[in-house]
């Protein structure tokens, strides 16, 4: 019994057809049939019978083989992950997921500073949306991730940074005369946000639903300059954050006003799975994050 033979069997079980399964492999239906008959001979039991409709019907023995194949696949995947992790440890390699927007705050000096402090460690990082970052951390694609709040309950997360959520709006908007926004100010308004893969989107939708506020997210973009332009043109309110609102390129334009949303914060931390121990190189990056994340005076400026 070979690994590829189990994979062929699983496809045949799923499609109930040698022809359909063979097309996905690819190989000839005759070759696949021969491989399955060889497996039946090895096990001494029939795995498929031909029904009146011409489909291959799995036998109860096939159900047992499928369960074994799934366990085998899980074990094989686990073995490959263990070998990869051992090689990563030996090579001093760290793979980290980072939610989009975090490096924009941290700046290039953050990664460069770690590389300078640990020249024997190879750091590979992947900038992805919030939901993708959480999913890949959970799957074990990487052991560490800089994630956005609200944090997943099955992660161990140490928060590193928090800043008020701001919204940009055109200076001629009547709301621009306020010192801060409440969720009620969004009633009937058009809003620009990062896409639905970002937690600020779902958090805002939840806030509106809880307060029975009707607003419309009419524009989405992961590009902060596009969100800013939406507000500058007077099309509605656009999501921002404290560190972005304080950047001179945005702050010094009299056409646009940035106001904090009461009780709303953009937060991120470093997350890991509790059952996966960190290698020495991963621990070095984890410790670096705890001491190396810079803070801004704007962080607590609007807290009550």
Query: What are the pLDDT digits (tens) for 51-108?
Result: 988 899 999 999 999 999 888 888 887 777 777 666 666 667 899 999 999 998 998 8
Considering the entire predicted model, what is its pTM?
A: 0.69
pLDDT digits (tens, 9 = 90+) for 124-163: 999 999 999 999 999 888 889 999 999 999 999 999 999 9
Cα–Cα nearest to 258, from 173, 167, 163: 167
The predicted pLDDT at position 276 comes to 85
Q: How far is CA 132 from CA 14, 22, 68, 126, in A?
A: 28, 33, 30, 10
pLDDT digits (tens, 9 = 90+) for 177-201: 999 999 999 999 999 999 999 999 9
Instruction: Indicate the pLDDT class of residue 296, thresholds 50, 70 and 90.
Output: very low
The predicted pLDDT at position 89 comes to 62
Residues 216, 236: Cα–Cα separation, whole Å: 10
């Amino acid at each position: 019994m070979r690994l590829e033979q189990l994979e062929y069997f699983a496809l045949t079980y799923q499609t109930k057809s040698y022809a359909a399964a063979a097309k996905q492999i690819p190989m000839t239906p005759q070759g696949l049939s021969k491989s399955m008959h060889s497996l039946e001979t090895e096990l001494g039991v029939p795995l498929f019978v031909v029904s009146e409709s011409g489909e291959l019907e799995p036998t109860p023995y096939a159900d047992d083989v499928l369960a074994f194949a799934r366990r085998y696949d899980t074990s094989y995947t686990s073995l490959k992950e263990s070998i990869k992790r051992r090689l990563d440890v030996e090579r001093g390699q760290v793979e980290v997921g980072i939610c989009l927007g975090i490096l924009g705050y941290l700046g290039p000096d953050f990664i460069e500073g770690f590389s300078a402090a640990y020249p024997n460690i190879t750091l590979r990082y992947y900038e992805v949306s919030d939901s993708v970052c959480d999913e890949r951390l959970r799957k074990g694609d990487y052991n560490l991730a800089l994630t956005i709040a609200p944090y997943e309950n099955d992660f161990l997360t140490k928060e590193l940074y928090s800043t008020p959520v701001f919204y940009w709006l055109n200076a001629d908007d009547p709301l621009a005369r306020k010192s801060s926004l409440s969720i009620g100010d969004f009633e009937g308004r058009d809003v620009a946000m990062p896409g639905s893969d970002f937690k600020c989107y779902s958090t805002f939708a939840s806030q509106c639903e809880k307060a029975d506020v009707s607003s419309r997210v009419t524009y989405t973009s992961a590009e902060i300059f596009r969100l800013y332009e939406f507000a500058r043109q007077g099309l509605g309110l656009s999501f921002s954050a404290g560190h972005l609102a304080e950047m001179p390129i945005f702050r010094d334009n009299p056409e646009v006003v940035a106001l904090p949303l009461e009780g709303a914060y953009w937060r991120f931390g470093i997350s890991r799975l509790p059952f996966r121990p960190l290698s020495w190189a991963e621990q070095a990056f984890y410790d670096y994050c705890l001491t190396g994340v810079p803070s801004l005076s704007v962080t607590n400026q609007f807290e009550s």
